[in-house]
Chain A
């Protein structure tokens, strides 16, 4: 039997294992992947995100069988799915509800990472792949939202594509290049369809694989932020605070899945439009390029970022420029930057302050919105706290997290509302809180009295 591997398995599995590392992979990622034993409910959301991804792909495939990516036919084909395709309404509601639930689950999953410092060394790449998934997901949701070709689809796409026209010099041509026409049209619909059904899903799948491989390389974090690999080990070299992912966490996650599916089904059957938040009322009107609906807002999961876009007016750039100047002065006199950086960083900040007042506020609105997402990539290097988990941080850190969460929700609410002076001021304050939370993190995250981190995870057997 020259050229064949020696394997322990026999029969069909043995035949496969000689040709493909099936048992090895199952062991590495499931039955011999040791996860900390103190996971709580926050750890459901990773596997739930995988579940929703599968739901979206499967329902998406069936929707494509009846949908027509043509400006003249798209709206009607969606109505056809809803009214005439057997069970089409269910498949479509699963897909539309799945989109919103994807963001619910992913936001909670990211919040878990924020609470327990899951982005800290050595898990920076796990986090970065995760933020890249979030960014791709935003793209996927945006491209998908144009497909029903309703009023909100049309004008939402019009606004977001025009964001790119705010970029100095190349902007207007770039926007035409993205649309493939001078206005959002059939050409735009067709290419968004291609992005939604194949291009972005492929990217997301690749990133999910990378996210999990990186996670399994470094091992899962836990609510205590303690490294189980550095803790005591049993006689077989396994961490005593770790339990095999399968069967322990597969069963644990099934409970999470059951709870999630109850909520998911309840929404699909009783409130698929969710009062206009999951499916906006204006999207039941076919796209009309000549008439913007009186009140236009993106779907709820984009509204916090949309608020930051709207908040950036000419007056607000003055505030931002002032903040940049103050930061430059503080970094020059009080910062602990070394060598050339001590001068370079303040100079760059002063330059930004000047540009804030010379380039249109419209461009800076786009920068604020994009920056609010991009800043997440840098989180591993912004957090300088000596402990990972929120459990061992000073009490007022928890207060800051609470403000951050409430602020994010308020920004989300403001983004759904029609603009008025009071709400605009609130959005501006909210934008400052959001950006300040991250940009000042290198300072505040190391202040205060931290609690003693235990050597081992806290765990009480049931």
Chain B
């Protein structure tokens, strides 16, 4: 018994204290680098699969709304690209009130980029002073504000009508312009839209191709 256990076959034994072999090190490093690059390349399709699918990207067609029955003071909501778009018919008084609010607004002239197309860079942020169209999604964190036409709870006494975001209390005037010192960083987004020839319909998502 003891003879067998002492019989060592160590022709292939390697000294554990042997210094590293530079050639093997180089090949190990190379193999790891190539393997790692392949691994990273494999991650690309997985990461990309998170992006919107072709179906989601295609679902952005313009929508048309009939505004012939929208009386002054009334507002309607249509869905465009899964978001609520408001169409508000402002009254004479509401239009008159807009310029008086400028000093309380964060960006009264809509100078910040990205939220106001060129055609809406005016006091009313619209093509026509009476019809206001905007995406009803707060620029803060994406809640949909509610229209408040009179001073309700939590709103200042001199409230001239506007929009209140229920999530974080941002307030906007009836041109979607954000008041100062509110969480929302920008005015409400005005989408591209065009009116029909007779002005009874509005197409949201259609680029301006007729008149300025």
A residues near B, CB below 8 A?
155, 158-163, 165, 176-183, 185, 187, 191, 289-296, 309-310, 312-315, 360-362, 365, 418-420, 424
Pairwise interchain contact B53-A292, C-beta atoms closer than 8 A = no
Q: Which residue of A lies closest to B84 (CB)?
A: A290
Note all chain A residues with C-beta closer than 8 A to B146: 292, 294
Pairwise interchain contact B167-A180, C-beta atoms closer than 8 A = no
Given A292-B146, A292-B167, A294-B146, 12 additional A-B pairs, CB 8 A: A155-B143, A161-B142, A176-B52, A182-B56, A182-B83, A185-B82, A290-B77, A291-B144, A312-B183, A313-B181, A418-B154, A420-B154
Note all chain A residues with C-beta closer than 8 A to B56: 180-182, 185, 187
The listed residue (B50, B53, B182) touching A313 by CB distance below 8 A is B182
Pairwise interchain contact B166-A294, C-beta atoms closer than 8 A = yes
Pairwise interchain contact A289-B53, C-beta atoms closer than 8 A = no
Note all chain A residues with C-beta closer than 8 A to B83: 182-183, 289-290
A-B pairs with lowest CB-CB distance, top 6:
A419-B169, A183-B82, A292-B144, A162-B142, A162-B141, A290-B84
- Shortest CB–CB separation between residue B88 and chain A, in angstroms? 15
Q: In the assembly, what is the distance between CA of A309 and CA of B169, in Å?
A: 12
> How extensive is the interface on chain B, given as a class?
20 to 34
Write 20 A-B pairs (CB below 8 A) sorted by A numbering: A155-B167, A159-B141, A159-B143, A159-B167, A162-B140, A162-B142, A176-B52, A180-B52, A180-B56, A181-B56, A290-B77, A290-B83, A292-B143, A292-B166, A292-B167, A295-B166, A296-B166, A362-B141, A418-B169, A419-B154
Pairwise interchain contact A296-B143, C-beta atoms closer than 8 A = yes
The listed residue (B81, B144, B166, B183) touching A362 by CB distance below 8 A is B183
- Shortest CB–CB separation between residue B83 and chain A, in angstroms? 6
Pairwise interchain contact A293-B142, C-beta atoms closer than 8 A = no
Note all chain B residues with C-beta closer than 8 A to A176: 51-52
Q: Which residue of B lies closest to A182 (CB)?
A: B81
Known A-B contacts A294-B146, A361-B185; A181 and B82 likewise in contact (beta carbons under 8 Å): yes
Note all chain A residues with C-beta closer than 8 A to B165: 292
Is B201 at the interface (CB under 8 A from chain A)?
A: no
Note all chain A residues with C-beta closer than 8 A to B182: 313
Pairwise interchain contact A314-B82, C-beta atoms closer than 8 A = no
In residues 136-155 of chain B, which contact A (Cβ within 8 Å)?
Answer: 136, 140-146, 154
Pairwise interchain contact B185-A291, C-beta atoms closer than 8 A = no
Pairwise interchain contact B84-A362, C-beta atoms closer than 8 A = no
Note all chain B residues with C-beta closer than 8 A to A296: 143, 166-167
B114-148 near A? 1/0 per residue, CB < 8 Å: 00000000000000000000001000111111100
Is B64 at the interface (CB under 8 A from chain A)?
A: no
Known A-B contacts A289-B83, A291-B84; A361 and B167 likewise in contact (beta carbons under 8 Å): no
Q: Which residue of A lies closest to B82 (CB)?
A: A183
The listed residue (B82, B84, B136, B168) touching A310 by CB distance below 8 A is B168
Q: Which residue of A lies closest to B79 (CB)?
A: A290
Is B180 at the interface (CB under 8 A from chain A)?
A: yes
Note all chain B residues with C-beta closer than 8 A to A312: 183
Q: In the assembly, what is the distance between CA of A360 and CA of B106, in Å?
A: 12
The listed residue (A177, A292, A295, A360) touching B185 by CB distance below 8 A is A360
Instruction: Pick from B141, B144, B183 the residue with the most CB of A within 10 Å.
Output: B141
Known A-B contacts A292-B144, A419-B154; A187 and B53 likewise in contact (beta carbons under 8 Å): yes
